[in-house]
Structure 1
Amino acid sequence: MNLALFFDPLPETLTAAAPAPTTLAAYATRFTETFPDWRAADLALIGLDEWRGSTIGHPSRHGANEVRQRFYNLQKGSGALRLVDLGNLRPGLTLEDTYQRLREIVAALIEENTVPILLGGSHDLDYGQFLAYETQNRAISFAMVDSRPDMAEPGPGTAPEDSHLRRMLVHEPNFVFSLAHLGHQQYLTPPEVLVALEKMHFETMSVGEVRADRRLSEPLVRQADFMSMDIAAVRWQDAPGYYPAYPFGLGNEEATQLCWYAGHNEQLSSFGLYGYRTDQDVNGLAAATLATMLWYFVEGFYHRRPETGFGTFRFLTYTVVLPGNPDKLVFYKSRRAEKWWMEVERLGDNVVKRVVPCTYEDYLNASQGDLPQRWIRLQALLS
């Protein structure tokens, strides 16, 4: 597939100056005259400037370029770096065409084990990111970080950025196994939306729950095949780059931690940061925040350590005996990191089994005779 047909090169203003030798700019291969070899890369950055899915139109400047300016001036982290910048995606004739372009591009990158990083545009562009996984022929899990679940009923007067999550969940064929929605603000979220997600046995964590103990969000991100994040989930004081402004939300520390978790997740194969509007970011603070979030994602990626071989010497195995059905639960803990997993079997059919990320608290609850809520939800999804 000739991906170069879909992209415009980076503007000269981003690449004219010689980069400092210790910065990311000195190591990344960026599309200026020659399209980068994306098949040989670990990560591929894609700039987006598609806003037809938004109710408030196109911002004054290209958001991905503003973030790049700050991102490439950051210091390179530890270890190798095989990052290519494919430039900026040319939007399709229609918004639906843009979704399909993203589907083809993301699917092609994933097939070559190159992780696409999608930057900019309205949050509904993650629908194109989602569609790429239809070619996987398996059920997938994903994580979404937003100030509210975008579950509005599609139709006249509803912007695609307000209904893209619903569109994913009702897509046919249905290939979603699980969803984790993180960072919603309850005063912005209709109660019936949370009820609907609970009935579908999906997990949610409000902004208060994430901020109270961000470690509890790690297993939800670790289970994801892809993650999308709207800058509107971050409070305005830390990232004044969206409209309308919200005084509350994730702090920049929680946001960067979630990006680290996503990068560190060896199962995750694409990542998107959406919603940044340059016309709201007078002093460039939001661009700097997003650049730092990207840095943590990339650094997390290069700290990946595949965790395989459950039941081998790589893991400690804990079997918890229970009084009912099931009569036991099996947990695994990595010897290298504070990461836990739980074995979930479909009741009455031990052939259908998954080993899923969990928390130490899930193990403690089981040890006290209580079935973890995560086990109950996953049991329902397996049924």
Structure 2
Amino acid sequence: MNFNFLTPVSDLVLAHNELLSAQALGRKIKIHSEQNGMPDLEGVSIALIGVLENRNDVNYIGTEFKLDEIRKSFYGLFPGIWNTTIADLGDIHKGESVEDTYFALKTAISILVKKNIIPIILGGSQDLTYANYRAYDHLMPMVNIVNIDSKFDMGDSTKPIKNNSFVGKIILDKPYNLFNYATIGYQTYFNSQEEIDLMESLYFESYRLGEISNNIASVEPVLRDANIVSIDLTSVKSSEVSLNQKFSPNGLDGKEICAISRYAGISNKVTSFGIYEYKPSNDDEISSMLISQMIWYFIEGVNCRVKDDDFSNENNYQKFITLVDSQELIFYKSNKTGRWWIEIPFLAEVNNKLKRHTLLPCMHQDYIDASNNIVPDRWYKAFQKNCV
């Protein structure tokens, strides 16, 4: 297997690792090193990849960065009661062009996902999510992306791709594989009304910061339905991070971003997870520790995965039927986990790829709303997309 575009973890980090407790994570994971080469991926279920690419950042001024501090922080944490083997595959350096970096990342993700290994991507600018998405072109017919971000990143798709316009490219570039795009934690004043209207007209989902801060569990269903999760670190409020990382006084706090990371890990569908827009500074300990804890919670979530979405056996679930405006809504509740789903009627006359999307994760509250004659928003948007 050819991973020759990945460079080993630096000797500095490895020397630091040797000083850690034998119980620490850094002593228990497989590491790509100069001395030992690329680790054997047999039995590995999660792989860390750094991508040192930030040239498509709209504010790029030639700055270089490393991920050493994040690795030091992460290696120093202690694992939970985990049954997953983790590997750190090192870094993808900047290619000759940004497209070369995209190609390397796309190739790496594609290889790993085919081997049932979940890549955790640590990146520079968030436009790398485009390469992550393109890795799925030959893996599955339709893809759901969840972006944890204060902005929608639609941008002007007629212009070259940037970290604030990559979603426009994902929507408009062929092949068209995007089924749903959801933004968690957006802040209205960072988004033009045109972008907000476009999100609505495409029936994409968006969750305002205030909405989820009041009830963080409300984002679990949308993460349960995601294949790709991309986190923009500027969605975290400035009091939680180091100097260069500060962006806005409002944003998600450390607990909320870790809870979201854990929900992403618990989701049976999430097969790649990326953390982007890392900007190191001299007082970097807080940012690198927060990112390490996000990775830790994602892995914790993966270790808590429960297969409860097989509805072929009636003993696995309870079924509830309600009527909303003469429309029959059918809900399923897993006996194993208590998680809820809602059925989207499949329109046979519509030529689409959505047969596997007939069940949509939802919350108990959606069932209560439907019982009170309120159409659940997620169901409505998915149904409208199915009709297009």
Matched, 1:239 2:238: no
For residues 287-344 of structure 1, the C-alpha deviation after alignment (integer angstroms, 9 at most, x for no partner) is: 11111111000111111111232252121211223451x3x21111122324111111
367, 371, 376: which one aligns with 1:372: 376
73, 80, 102: which one aligns with 1:77: 80
Number of the residue aligned with 1:7: 6
Q: After TM superposition, list the pairs within 5 Å mapping 1:144-163 onto structure 2.
A: 144-154=147-157, 160-163=162-165
CA distance in 2, matches of 1:241, 1:234: 13
Select between 246-255 and 334-343 the one with higher mean Cα deviation: 334-343
Helix, strand or coil at the partner of 1:278: coil
Tell me if structure 2 keeps the 8 A contact 1:147–1:184: yes
Helix, strand or coil at the partner of 1:192: helix
CA distance in 2, matches of 1:244, 1:190: 22
CA distance in 1, matches of 2:157, 2:53: 19
Question: What 5-or-longer segments of structure 1 have no aligned partner?
Answer: none
CA shift for structure 1 position 346: 3.5
Number of the residue aligned with 2:103: 100
Helix, strand or coil at the partner of 2:168: helix
Q: Provide the TM-score with structure 2 as the length reference.
A: 0.92
Cα separation, partners in 2 of 1:244 and 1:302, compared to 1, 3 Å: closer
Cα separation, partners in 2 of 1:206 and 1:30, compared to 1, 3 Å: same
Number of the residue aligned with 1:49: 52
For residues 15-46 of structure 1, the C-alpha deviation after alignment (integer angstroms, 9 at most, x for no partner) is: 12243122111210101132012243100000
CA shift for structure 1 position 241: 5.8
Number of the residue aligned with 1:340: 340
Q: After TM superposition, list the pairs within 5 Å mapping 1:112-191 onto structure 2.
A: 112-154=115-157, 160-191=162-193
202, 205, 209: which one aligns with 1:200: 202
CA shift for structure 1 position 349: 6.0
For residues 229-254 of structure 1, the C-alpha deviation after alignment (integer angstroms, 9 at most, x for no partner) is: 01000001112365562111011111
Name the count of aligned residue pairs: 377
Q: Give the counterpart letter for 1:76 in structure 2.
A: P
CA distance in 2, matches of 1:243, 1:338: 38
Select between 236-245 and 64-73 the one with higher mean Cα deviation: 236-245
Tell me if structure 1 keeps the 8 A contact 2:238–2:245: no
Q: Give the counterpart letter for 2:375 in structure 1.
A: L
Cα separation, partners in 2 of 1:89 and 1:229, compared to 1, 3 Å: same
For residues 45-91 of structure 1, the C-alpha deviation after alignment (integer angstroms, 9 at most, x for no partner) is: 001111111123354541x2211110110011112230000011132
CA shift for structure 1 position 268: 0.6
Number of the residue aligned with 1:290: 291
CA distance in 2, matches of 1:52, 1:45: 21
Number of the residue aligned with 1:320: 322
CA shift for structure 1 position 119: 0.5
Question: What 5-or-longer segments of structure 2 have no aligned partner?
Answer: none
Tell me if structure 2 keeps the 8 A contact 1:242–1:275: no
Cα separation, partners in 2 of 1:342 and 1:242, compared to 1, 3 Å: farther
